Amino acid sequence: SKINEEPNNDFWWGCKNLFGINPRNVHHLEAVHTLLQEHTNLPIPAILEKHILNGREFVVAEKLVGNTVQSFIGQPDSILFSLGKGLAEIHTFKAVP
């Protein structure tokens, strides 16, 4: 990783405290993706391959069908409802430490 010090943000906190992983070690993403797939209807890409190159971990992930949403402004209520439902499903899951 090119990161010299650990970022202080929700993503890193969640990886460490909810999933017990170091985000620099991307081979753990497979377990995280599998867990997320079990607890939400949101599309979570499958991890297709894992490799190590020059001591760094890499993954090849499935490409999801669709387009990236640039803004939620003007989107149909159904999209926001589906996103909220999917996030609620994830956040109601209680991980066992």
pLDDT, tens only, 60-78: 999 999 988 889 899 999 9
How many other C-beta atoms can be found within 10 angstroms of the C-beta atom of residue 75? 12
What's the average model confidence in pLDDT over 91-95? 77
Task: With a cut of 60, say whether residue 28 has pLDDT above it.
Answer: yes
Helix ranges, 45-76 (H): none
pTM for the whole structure = 0.65
Gap between the Cα atoms of 20 and 25, Å rounded: 11
The rounded mean pLDDT for the chain is 85
pLDDT tens string 32-68: 888 888 888 899 999 999 999 888 888 899 999 998 8
Domain ranges for the chain? 10-92
Q: What are 91's two structure tokens?
A: 């956040």
Distance, first Cα to last Cα, the chain = 27
